[in-house]
Amino acid sequence: MPDAPGLELIRGEIERDCPGAVLATSYDRTQAALNVDPTRVLDVLRWLKEQPGHRYDFLSSLHAADYLPNQPRFAVHYELINRDRVERIRVKAMLADVPPAGGDDAEDSPGRESPASETGPAGQQLPSIDSCVELFPTADAQEREVFDFFGIVFRGHPNLTRILMPDDYVGWPQRRDFPIGGEPVTFTYSEERYG
């Protein structure tokens, strides 16, 4: 882990090359994190991967979390490792939820133009972020998993389909407003036959 001053140094260097891309840093429980602008996440990831002297070139995990009721609600986390210095850094891109179409736009978050959205399978508007499969091929399955469970669209992903849930499933199960349980049983043969 880079320590807190080390993290600020990294932030300063990124700021020089990609101004405005890093919104904030956090150093919590000895874990360093960069909170980045979701539209610039690829710039930051590319910088961290390719900048001489840093080379955070191993993406160990990509996952998402739902911070409901906080806004912006979603975050995509990239856990990067620098194997030379044996350091970890987390890149976090916060994504606002897209308000349902036709709903009241009164509570649109101020200071943020309408969030980047993408049309999902059922014509639903979904939050979206650039895919990093080009940079880190390992992200392929993990981005599909995030899409599967959170309905976050990764723009430019070669094959963004559901990976663990059935292809015809409706809903985004890992969202916090998705209820636990109540899933209908799909194997009804015995029920129909034997009652």
Partner 1 sequence: MAERQAEVGLSTDMLETPDRGSEIMTVNVGPHHPATHGVLRLVVDLEGEMVRELRPVIGYVHTGIEKSCEDKSYWKVIPFVERMDYVSYFFQMEAFCGAVERLIDLEIPPRAKYLRTIFLELNRIHSHLVWLGTTALDLGAISMLWYCFRERDKILDLFEMATGQRMHTRYFQVGGVIEDIPVGFEAKCRAFAEEMPVRVGQYEDLLDRNEVFLSRTKGVGIVPRERLLELGVTGPLLRAAGEPWDLRKAFDYLAYPEMDFKIPVGTVGDNYDRYRVRVAEMVESSRIIGQALDALPEGPFIADDRKYVLPPRSELSTSMESLIHHFKLVTEGFRVDPGEVYYSIESPRGELGCFVLADGSAKPARVHYRDPSFVNLQAFREMAVGSYVADMIASLGMLDPILGGVDR
Give the interface with partner 1 as residue ranges (CB under 8 A): 28-31, 57-61, 63, 65-67, 77, 79, 83, 86, 88, 90, 136-142, 145, 149, 162-166, 173-174, 176, 178, 180
Supply φ then ψ for residue 98, to 5 degrees.
-90, 125
* Contact between 112 and 73 (Cβ < 8 Å): no
User: Which residue type is seen at 145?
Assistant: E
- The nearest distance, CB 30 to partner 1, in angstroms, is 8
Specify the DSSP element, H or E, that contains 101: none
CB of 40 to partner 1, least distance (A): 22
Q: In what order do the strands lie in the sheet with 125-130?
A: 117-119, 125-130, 153-155
Q: Which is nearer to partner 1, 39 or 67 (CB)?
A: 67
Q: Which amino acid is at 50?
A: E
Residue closer to partner 1, measured from CB, 72 or 173 = 173
What is residue 91's three-state secondary structure?
Answer: strand
Handedness of CA 130, 92, 59, 12 (dihedral sign): positive
Shortest Cβ distance from residue 106 to partner 1 (Å)?
26
CB-nearer residue toward partner 1: 13 or 57: 57
CB of 190 to partner 1, least distance (A): 18
Q: CA 97 to CA 94: how far, in whole Å?
A: 10
Residue 53: what are its φ and ψ, rounded to 5°? 95, -15
- Could you tell me the smallest distance in angstroms from the CB atom of residue 109 to partner 1? 20
The residue among 12 and 171 lying less far from partner 1, judged by its C-beta, is: 171
Instruction: Tell me whether residue 85 or residue 125 sits nearer to partner 1 (CB atom).
Output: 85
